[in-house]
Amino acid sequence: MQFTVAIDGPAAAGKGTISKAVAAHFGFAHLDTGLLYRAVGARVLGGDEAIFAAQSLAVSDLEQSNLRTNEVAHAASEIAVIPEVRAALLEFQRSFSARDGGAVLDGRDIGTVICPDADVKLFVTASAQVRAARRFQEFSQTGVETSLSEVLADVIARDKRDSERATAPLVAALDAVLIDTSDLTIEAATARAVAAIEAAL
């Protein structure tokens, strides 16, 4: 059985947590596509050329432990504007989405570009303030030294770059179900996602 769930939205809106939860709930495979861009960003920080890094990306690049840092996120959003980088990562994402047994892909352009025919599309969002506060709390818990205003500035800058780029900008597909998690617990947000998927199964 092929069944594709596309989950898009800005950073720290909760889409990663919701994606993992719905994949586990339905027994679907899950691909965090941000990790592909982060892995390319990390290679570029290491001195590689972006398009070459994207074209030669290997599983070992995705298994690096440093991909969740702010520095790598920043590098990822810079290389994500390059059309050839996006093109090099497209086929892997499409074949993942077509695997047997169902797939959940989360990112920025899954419902619009990668899987325009996805069975279910969700757009998970929250206010920039709420997202920055969540990121700040995560950073504090893991001992990363930063301030709330710095994290907020970073969230706003990344949103702007992701939304305004010419190729595959961050935008909700017209047929996406919108989930605003600003005032929702993660359980309530996940329940909405599960309900939207159940309605389409």
Q: Which of 14, 109, 118, 128 binds ligand C5P (CB under 6 A)?
A: 109
Q: Does 61 bind ligand C5P (CB under 6 A)?
A: no
Q: How far, in Å, CA of 51 to CA of 74, rounded?
A: 17
For ligand C5P, the closer of residues 3 and 37 by Cβ is 37
Q: Please, what is the minimum distance in Å from the beta carbon of residue 116 to ligand C5P?
A: 13
Distance from CA of residue 166 to its chain's centroid?
A: 18
Q: Note whether 154 binds ligand C5P by CB under 6 A.
A: no
Gap between the Cα atoms of 56 and 43, Å rounded: 10
Q: Which is nearer to ligand C5P, 27 or 106 (CB)?
A: 106
Q: Rounded to the nearest 5°, which phi and psi values hold at 118?
A: -55, 145
Q: Is 124 helix (H, G, I), strand (E, B) or coil?
A: strand
d(CA 50, CA 43): 8
Nearer to ligand C5P, 61 or 162 (CB): 162
By CB under 6 A, residue 76 contacts ligand C5P: yes
Q: Which helix (DSSP H) or strand (DSSP E) does residue 122 occupy?
A: strand 120-125
Identity of the residue, 138 or 198, whose beta carbon is nearer to ligand C5P in the bound complex: 138
Q: Which residues are near ligand C5P by CB under 6 A?
A: 11, 33-34, 37-38, 73, 76-77, 80, 107-109, 158, 162
